[in-house]
Structure 1
Amino acid sequence: MRKVRLVLAAASAGALAAVLALPGTATAAPTEWGACASGNVCFYTGDNGTGQKCSWSVADPDWTQGDIKCSWAETKNVQSVWNRGTSKSYTGVAYYRWADYNTRMGCTPQGKRGNLTGNGYKLKSHRWVDGNCG
């Protein structure tokens, strides 16, 4: 009987939290997506933000050089991306097959996340962009 009350109390608390959520407020990310800090863009080796992750708060012309290095960029495909950028100056983050922003492979709008098509692809650079991300 006690376990039943605890389960009902937990369910009621969850329902109450859903009712109290204000329109336009952020909700917790689904658990399958790995953490990505606000203001960053995160790239993952697995679908739905799983696997290994590399993240940046700034543009990077070469993921294998410089201050931030992505250890798996040379050997593994990017399967998913989460753009948690917050700057009002940009609308998305574009990512490129090669260093120095060569051969654009895609763009993810600010605040969006998703899986790349097929088996993904190797990437070497990214930068925030304004205007049309498409």
Structure 2
Amino acid sequence: MPKIRTALAGLGTAALLTTVAVPVAAAAPAGEQAWGACASGNVCFYTGANGTGSKCSWSVADEDWTQGSIRCSWSQTTNVKSVWNRGTSSASGVAYYRWRDYNTRMGCTPQGQRGNLTGTYMLKSHRWINGACG
């Protein structure tokens, strides 16, 4: 009897993995739709992973997200979890900073790239840069 239980338990695990894999695959198109919300020429920052949640976007650098010409209402209270650099200028990347006036660089995303951030910090400024993001 123990052999049958082991075999059935193994089948249950396989069935569970199949069940889990289906929703993950089905969720991908929704993520693609969320990323599509960033206009060409802009950099977009999101409160959720994979370009979801609230978004703030710019086509130019901004030294202070709270007082600049474009204000990001959630930047004082909410961590940034994803970014998409859809810039079209000759700049190679967008560097982003924890504080206004480009202080304490937290990362850089190359032109045309998008991805998730650690989501453990707020951002207050960004600018396009030339050279490597590294």
Q: TM-score range by the shorter chain?
A: 0.7 to 0.9
Q: Tell me which residue corresponds to 1:132.
A: 132
Corresponding letter in the other structure for 2:65: W
User: 70, 73, 81: which is aligned to 1:71?
Assistant: 73
The structure that is helix-richer by fraction is 2
What displacement does 1:34 show? 4.9
Q: Distance in 2 between matches of 1:120 and 1:70?
A: 18
Structure 1 residues 34, 122: closer, same or farther in 2, change over 3 A?
A: farther
Unaligned segments of structure 2, at least 5 residues: 1-30
Contact 1:62/1:124 (8 A) holds in 2: yes
SS of structure 2 residue aligned to 1:72: coil
| 1:1-134 equivalent positions in 2, closer than 5 A | 30-88=32-90, 90-117=91-118, 119-134=119-134
Q: Distance in 1 between matches of 2:82 and 2:68?
A: 23
SS of structure 2 residue aligned to 1:111: coil
Contact 1:34/1:50 (8 A) holds in 2: no
Corresponding letter in the other structure for 2:110: P
Corresponding letter in the other structure for 1:123: L
What displacement does 1:32 show? 3.8
* % identity of equivalent residues: 77
Corresponding letter in the other structure for 1:113: R
